[in-house]
Structure 1
Amino acid sequence: MWNDIRKSGFFDLFILATDVFIMPVMFLIAGYFALPALLTKGTGGFWRDKLWRIVLPWVFGVLVIAPAVAYSAVFSRTSAPPGYVSFWINDFFGRYYQQAHYWFLGILALFFALLIVAYRLTPAYFARRPAVNNPPVRFFPLFALLSAAPFFFANLFFWSDAWVNCKYLFMIQPVRIGLYFCYFGLGVYAWKNAWFDGDGYRPSLLYWGPAAALMLVVFLAYRVAFTLTADIPVMFKAGHALVYANFCLSAAMALIALFARAAGSDASLWRGLAANSYAIYYVHQCIVIPLAYMVRKLPVNIWLKYFSVAACAVVLCYFVAKYCINPFFITGKRTAGL
């Protein structure tokens, strides 16, 4: 967000890599926990819960917090930035419109609505299988192809990193939205087939870890060599889609395998972070951006800056989430009768 006086090519590669798998993993997790909640609460209770937990925070974030995030970019890159009130009234809903990280909540609400429709049409299909159903060997290559297909076709018309404003309601990346839908569906499918718990399928870090490391190298080499410009040949776009999809899948499975080990820990730190994870996500840019602004001109090592800001941000986000945001949600849910 801020232009720091210290630069490092490592962080450019770091952003390119983490930008691939973080959001698909979040959609996979959302799909995995959505179906049991839907079966338990029914469509009415499920949607009322999502209105309170997802839709209302989305609207508030877009209208109140996202303008400040957009303004911080203008403020840092413009010699004479406008006043904030003037920016919000005259500029934000024009070429500077964005939803910050809250676009995820809007798309998630849409996916939840589609899940409700699908459930109402075919409720018997979504019942959990009584027996464990581990995926066959061909499942993951086929899923990688399935998720690569919408990425490739959208990339024929849009740059891979392009954002599109859909009538101010949704902010999407056309090249990635189909892949996100695939991962949400994968989460639903995984819960339905009893993955990740009991005797169900558990990704092996011994297999997925090296696969993710290999695909990381391949992806970064391909990305830097062929896809940093908007105008590339169709065959290279097809290669990008395949490399992107396979790296995304291997990284997602490796992370699940890695954190499955930590999930068995009784450490209060893990329990606290897990209990406050959504609130930390919600508030993190409000804390990270000011911290980055304060250190951007300090003539100190870039690694020291990064780890200092990261550590402070995690601590502050945790305390704000635990003592300011989550109590409001709990009180609000009781008041609303949810």
Structure 2
Amino acid sequence: MNSRPNIPLSNLRAVVIFIVVAFHSELPYLASQPPGPFPFDVAPYRWIAFPILDPERWFGFDLFCAWQDVSLMSLMFFLAGLFTPASLSRKGSLPYLSERWWRIGLPFLLAVGVLSPIAYFASYRTTATDPSVAAFWQHWMALPMWPAGPAWFLWQLFVLGALAAGLHALAPQRVQAIGRLAGIFNDRPLAFCIGLIALSILAYIPLAMVFTPWDWTSLGPFSVQLSRPLHYIIYFFAAFAIGSHGIDRGVLRADGPLARHWLAWLAAAVASLAIWGGLTSLTLPDWNASPLTYRLAAALAFPAACAAGALSLLAICLRLMRTRYRVLDSLSAHAYNIYLLHYVFVVWLQYALLGAGLVAIEKAALVFVGALALSWAVSAGLMRLAALFSGLTGKHAIADQLR
């Protein structure tokens, strides 16, 4: 497999972390949320998703966040699956799993055990009668779950990586077979999209109809959105198939029809999102009380909007982001650490700006710039310390894991 860096996909990694920080920065300012903060001790604990709610709102943030909620996490699972075959080929299954533990499993525990409580302490203070650390810890320990924040993505990614490693070790012929299957779509991105939508329909709609598209459940720190686990598996292994075939010669090659027709894919993404949004609005505010036909139509619209949104961003980067830029290279290199760190800065900056005399756009911009800059700077500092420690000890594992 080709091990040369893929510049458009490296740039896409930078774009994705940019969007992730922007998404979380805008959540307090959504016009669709209630006027006041959610009580800390009252189910369904919606403060986990919306730690801070600010009086200032702007509907434009609702549109942006709805678009990202539809496709962003699916794209992140897709990108993870895309590069997994190359990692397995270089390292083998057992070394790959060991590396995954150090890179994903251990950081998940750190994020859950340390970073998540620090971030949510700000949320607790918005409704607390006793805002002390001791009182917060007492309320935190009384919760029926241990909120993980954005780190929920990591444990699911670790499980999918373990499944891929098992497939690579126990059924290498199957890996080759799915790689050959992906080759059918080299010049047929529309057929690939239709196939992805069809599989997603089978994976998503039954769960969405039973559990609603929005509900989550948790077992300790392990959270899952009940409508989407099978959907995310589809995206991970669809990309795994492309990676097994070869990224640079498959449907995602930079000179392929997906990249050439990026404008059409963007138009499809906007149109499908509008359809999903219109149909979903018919099911609000109570999904279960809505007519069955409305719920089914909204559920059917999601897979198409998700696939078009993810593939449009891939197409845009493949076509328009073929050049290396120092800023994007740095952001891409630090993207994983920023993902781990940014939420603490996001939530506390949102909390600090609650009483500021600014409009929603100004507050969101300050939160975004501050959180991105701080988490980026901390990541750079940690990597320098790790490199220094590795140089002194002759061990490079710690520095490698922070990249």
TM-score strictly above 0.5: yes
Check the 8 A contact 1:32/1:190 in 2, yes or no.
yes
1:51 counterpart letter in structure 2 = W
Check the 8 A contact 1:288/1:309 in 2, yes or no.
yes
Instruction: State the alpha-carbon separation in 1 of the partners of residues 54 and 399 from structure 2.
Output: 47
Check the 8 A contact 1:5/1:299 in 2, yes or no.
no
User: What are the residue-to-residue correspondences of 1:226-237 with 2, within 5 Å?
Assistant: 226-231=283-288, 232-237=290-295
Hey, what does 2:212 align to over in structure 1?
A: 159
Check the 8 A contact 2:120/2:347 in 1, yes or no.
no
Instruction: State the alpha-carbon separation in 2 of the partners of residues 9 and 280 from structure 1.
Output: 27
Instruction: Report the Cα offset of residue 199 of structure 1.
Output: 6.0
1:225 counterpart letter in structure 2 = L
Check the 8 A contact 2:265/2:311 in 1, yes or no.
yes
Cα distance change of structure 1 residues 263 and 8 upon mapping to structure 2, 3 Å threshold: closer
When normalised by structure 2's length, the TM-score is 0.76
SS at 2:351's partner residue?
helix
Check the 8 A contact 2:197/2:303 in 1, yes or no.
yes
Check the 8 A contact 1:279/1:326 in 2, yes or no.
no
Q: Deviations over 1:187-238 (max 9, x none)?
A: 1012123332366664431221110111121122222222442313333232
Hey, what does 2:268 align to over in structure 1?
A: 211
**Larger deviation: 226-235 or 140-149?**
226-235
Instruction: State the alpha-carbon separation in 1 of the partners of residues 52 and 119 from structure 2.
Output: 11
Instruction: State the alpha-carbon separation in 1 of the partners of residues 234 and 180 from structure 2.
Output: 20
Instruction: Report the Cα offset of residue 57 of structure 1.
Output: 0.1
Alignment pair present for 1:182 and 2:231: no
Alignment pair present for 1:91 and 2:140: yes
**Larger deviation: 140-149 or 227-236?**
227-236
2:352 counterpart letter in structure 1 = M
Residue among 151, 155, 160 paired with 1:111: 160
Instruction: State the alpha-carbon separation in 2 of the partners of residues 9 and 130 from structure 1.
Output: 43
Identity over the aligned pairs, expressed in percent?
Answer: 24
Instruction: State the alpha-carbon separation in 2 of the partners of residues 251 and 324 from structure 1.
Output: 34
Hey, what does 1:139 align to over in structure 2?
A: 192
Q: Deviations over 1:236-267 (max 9, x none)?
A: 23222221111110110111112224542222
Q: Deviations over 1:101-134 (max 9, x none)?
A: 1110000011011112222221123245599541
Alignment pair present for 1:171 and 2:223: yes
Check the 8 A contact 2:147/2:221 in 1, yes or no.
no
Instruction: Report the Cα offset of residue 335 of structure 1.
Output: 4.9
Alignment pair present for 1:150 and 2:190: no
Instruction: Report the Cα offset of residue 83 of structure 1.
Output: 3.3
Hey, what does 1:61 align to over in structure 2?
A: 111
Residue among 158, 167, 170 paired with 1:121: 170
Q: Deviations over 1:261-307 (max 9, x none)?
A: 45422221111111111111111111111211221221222212222
**Larger deviation: 301-310 or 243-252?**
301-310
Instruction: Report the Cα offset of residue 27 of structure 1.
Output: 0.2
2:376 counterpart letter in structure 1 = Y
Alignment pair present for 1:302 and 2:352: no
Alignment pair present for 1:21 and 2:71: yes
Alignment pair present for 1:319 and 2:377: yes
RMSD (CA atoms): 2.6
Hey, what does 2:344 align to over in structure 1?
A: 286
Cα distance change of structure 1 residues 193 and 236 upon mapping to structure 2, 3 Å threshold: farther
Hey, what does 2:26 align to over in structure 1?
A: none
Instruction: State the alpha-carbon separation in 2 of the partners of residues 192 and 200 from structure 1.
Output: 18
SS at 1:101's partner residue?
helix
Instruction: State the alpha-carbon separation in 2 of the partners of residues 201 and 39 from structure 1.
Output: 28
Cα distance change of structure 1 residues 84 and 117 upon mapping to structure 2, 3 Å threshold: same
Cα distance change of structure 1 residues 233 and 145 upon mapping to structure 2, 3 Å threshold: farther
1:184 counterpart letter in structure 2 = F
Hey, what does 2:253 align to over in structure 1?
A: 197
2:144 counterpart letter in structure 1 = R
**Larger deviation: 21-30 or 187-196?**
187-196
Hey, what does 2:39 align to over in structure 1?
A: none
Instruction: State the alpha-carbon separation in 1 of the partners of residues 217 and 81 from structure 2.
Output: 24
When normalised by structure 1's length, the TM-score is 0.90
Q: Deviations over 1:52-88 (max 9, x none)?
A: 1000000111111122333332221x14145334433
Cα distance change of structure 1 residues 300 and 130 upon mapping to structure 2, 3 Å threshold: closer
Cα distance change of structure 1 residues 337 and 61 upon mapping to structure 2, 3 Å threshold: closer
Cα distance change of structure 1 residues 17 and 337 upon mapping to structure 2, 3 Å threshold: closer
Hey, what does 2:396 align to over in structure 1?
A: 334
1:12 counterpart letter in structure 2 = D
1:150 counterpart letter in structure 2 = A
Cα distance change of structure 1 residues 272 and 64 upon mapping to structure 2, 3 Å threshold: same
**Larger deviation: 121-130 or 313-322?**
121-130
**Larger deviation: 86-95 or 29-38?**
86-95
